[in-house]
C-alpha cells in the first residue's frame, strides 16, 4: 500500500530538505530542554488510503449462486486532521492520544462482476470517520543531522484504535458502469476497533517539533451489519469484512504549557 502515497512522501522530503538548507545557525541546539517536559500538545494533518478486506464465504463460491463471480477491493484516499496529547513516561517511552477525523466524502467498498456479465459494478457509501488511537511510543536519543547538533530523532510506536463512522447507517448505492442500479440501507456497522503500528522521525526547530510518520491500521471487527438479514446478497456471501488503512501524517508539537524553558 505504500506506493499509493509515494508522491506525497517525495514532496515532503523535498520540502524538508529545502527548509533544512535554509537554516543559518547550524551550531545552535534548538530547545535543548524540550525532553524535560512531561506533556506535549500538538496537531496533525495528513492523508490516508484505506480499503475493505474481505473473506469469501461458501455461498459466494457456490456455482449456483446468483450474486457475482469476482470481487476486488477499492482503495479510498481521505484527508486526515487531528489533535494530539503526549505524556512522557521516562527518557524513551511516551503515551500518545491522537483523535482524528477522516474526511472521505464517499467510500467505495469494492468492485464486483455479476454472473454472466462482464460489466464492472461498484458498491459505494457515504463516510465520515472519527478515529481515536492510543499508542505507546519508543523514541531514540536526539542526534546530529549534518552540521546541526541534536536536531532529530526517530521513533516507533504501537497501540490500539477505535473508529466510528457517522455515515454507516446511510444508504449505500450499487452502480454499474456509473449508472445507479440499487440502493441499500444499514449495510455496515458504525463502530470498529483494531491495532496500529508505525514509525516516524522528529525534527527540532526553534519553536516547534515537526514529525512526519507512517502508520498502518488494521480493523478487527466484522463490519457487515447482519449476515442473515442483510439486504445485499453479495455481503451475505462474505464471511467477514474488515477495514484497513495506511496513514501518512505530519505532526506539529509546540511548547508545553506545563514547563517553560
| Nearest by Cα to 240 from 68, 54, 50, 62 | 54
> What does the pLDDT look like over 145-199, one tens digit per residue?
887 899 999 999 999 999 998 876 666 777 766 666 677 777 788 899 999 999 9
3-state class (DSSP) for residue 180: strand
Best mean pLDDT range from 5-9, 163-167, 191-195, 232-236: 191-195
CA dist., res. 176 & res. 193, Å (int): 32
pLDDT score recorded for residue 127: 85
CB 245 within 8 A of CB 198: no
Mean pLDDT of 15-29: 59
CA dist., res. 192 & res. 225, Å (int): 12
Check residue 28 and report its DSSP letter: P
Q: Domains in the chain and their CATH numbers?
A: 2-23+44-253 (2.40.160.20)
Indicate the pTM of the whole model.
Answer: 0.82
Amino acid at each position: 500500500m505504500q506506493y499509493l502515497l509515494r508522491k506525497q512522501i517525495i514532496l515532503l522530503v523535498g520540502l524538508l530538505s529545502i527548509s533544512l538548507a535554509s537554516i543559518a545557525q547550524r551550531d545552535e541546539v534548538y530547545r535543548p530542554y524540550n525532553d524535560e517536559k512531561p506533556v506535549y500538545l500538538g496537531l496533525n494533518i495528513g492523508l490516508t488510503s484505506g480499503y475493505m478486506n474481505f473473506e469469501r464465504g461458501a455461498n459466494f463460491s457456490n456455482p449456483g449462486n446468483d450474486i457475482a463471480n469476482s470481487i476486488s477491493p477499492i482503495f479510498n484516499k481521505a484527508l486526515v486532521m487531528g489533535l494530539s496529547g503526549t505524556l512522557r513516561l521516562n527518557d524513551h517511552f511516551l503515551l500518545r492520544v491522537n483523535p482524528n477525523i477522516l474526511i472521505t466524502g464517499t467510500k467505495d467498498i469494492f468492485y464486483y462482476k455479476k454472473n454472466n456479465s462482464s460489466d464492472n459494478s461498484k458498491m459505494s457509501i457515504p463516510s465520515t470517520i472519527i478515529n481515536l488511537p492510543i499508542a505507546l511510543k519508543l523514541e531514540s536519543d536526539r542526534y546530529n543531522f549534518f552540521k546541526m547538533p541534536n536536531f532529530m530523532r526517530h521513533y516507533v510506536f504501537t497501540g490500539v484504535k477505535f473508529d466510528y463512522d457517522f455515515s454507516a447507517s446511510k444508504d449505500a448505492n450499487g452502480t454499474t458502469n456509473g449508472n445507479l442500479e440499487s440502493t441499500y440501507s444499514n449495510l455496515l456497522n458504525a463502530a470498529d476497533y483494531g491495532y496500529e503500528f508505525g514509525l516516524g522521525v522528529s525534527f527540532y526547530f526553534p519553536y516547534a517539533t515537526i514529525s512526519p510518520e507512517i502508520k498502518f491500521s488494521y480493523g478487527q471487527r466484522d463490519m457487515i451489519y447482519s449476515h442473515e438479514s442483510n439486504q445485499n446478497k453479495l455481503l451475505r456471501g462474505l464471511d467477514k469484512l474488515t477495514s484497513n488503512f495506511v496513514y501518512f501524517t505530519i505532526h506539529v508539537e509546540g511548547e508545553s504549557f506545563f514547563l517553560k524553558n
